[in-house]
Structure 1
Amino acid sequence: MPEKLLCASSDVSETTAKICELEGVEIGVIRHKGTVVAYRNVCPHQGGPVCEGLKMPKVCVEFDEERRPLKQSFDTDEMHFVCPWHGWEFKIETGEALGDPKIRLNRYKVIERDENIYVEV
């Protein structure tokens, strides 16, 4: 498959996605746990700019024996994109929707080489 240059490696951070355009398609690129991932910047729910949403850790809720919430905490090992249009959440590592893991963001294969980031198209 042909590789296309997206951006310089130094443009990509662990905190926010870099939005790149490639042949009229927006692609969100982010560094996660030392690896670069890239997704088409389109939410499968209603087409929102998913990669431009908040990046936040998984929210964990502890319940009592009657299923009443006791406390919340965050699991920073599992980070999510939250679509800014309707709040759908997706695992950054896999692109899976939290509500239904069969729904996924469109992911690109990423190659990081010579201080640049490429995707296979």
Structure 2
Amino acid sequence: MPEPTSSTPHKLFDSFLEAEKALPLGKPQKLWVAGRADAICLVRNRAGIFAVSDVCPHLGESLSKGTTNYLNEVVCPWHSYRFSLENGQECNNRTNRLKTYKIEVQPDGVYLQL
């Protein structure tokens, strides 16, 4: 099977129900995708499933070690920088945006667009 390319969706789960079971509500999870050197931070919250770069652009800590909040943000565990899960913007514009990835829920599964 060929490796996913930048235009290929990567199937994460066979159904949304499977994603709900695997992703605790509000708890960031680290995802490694075959063929990629960088990790992705997955978050399921009441607004949906989101994927962002796992590396905080401030000082490089893993965001999957952090928390989320009611503002739909992931919070870095080192210095509490908060990033929008929708667009990657840091709430006070103190550092670069996170790279965001599109998640698509289809009848046959949940996909990450790389």
Output the TM-score relative to the length of structure 1. 0.68
Quote the offset at 1:114 in angstroms: 4.2
Quote the offset at 1:52 in angstroms: 2.2
Give the AA of the match of 2:38.
Answer: V
Contact kept, 8 Å, 2:52 with 2:85, in 1: the verdict is no
Q: Which residue, 81, 92, 102 being the options, matches 1:99?
A: 92
CA distance in 2 between partners of 1:120 and 1:108 (Å): 6
Quote the offset at 1:104 in angstroms: 1.4
1:1-121 matches, cutoff 5 A: 1-7=7-13, 8-10=18-20, 11-22=22-33, 23=35, 24-56=37-69, 76=70, 78-100=71-93, 103-114=96-107, 116-121=109-114
CA distance in 1 between partners of 2:90 and 2:53 (Å): 14
CA distance in 1 between partners of 2:27 and 2:110 (Å): 16
Larger Cα-atom Rg? 1
Which segments of 5 or more consecutive residues in structure 1 lack a partner in the other structure? 57-75
CA distance in 1 between partners of 2:94 and 2:58 (Å): 13
Report the aligned-residue RMSD.
Answer: 2.3
CA distance in 2 between partners of 1:28 and 1:102 (Å): 18
Runs of 4+ in 1 over 4 A off after TM superposition: none
Give the AA of the match of 2:78.
Answer: W
Quote the offset at 1:26 in angstroms: 1.3
Quote the offset at 1:40 in angstroms: 1.3
Which segments of 5 or more consecutive residues in structure 2 lack a partner in the other structure? 1-6
Output the TM-score relative to the length of structure 2. 0.72
Kindly tell me the number of residue pairs found equivalent between the two proteins.
101
Which has the larger share of strand? Answer: 1
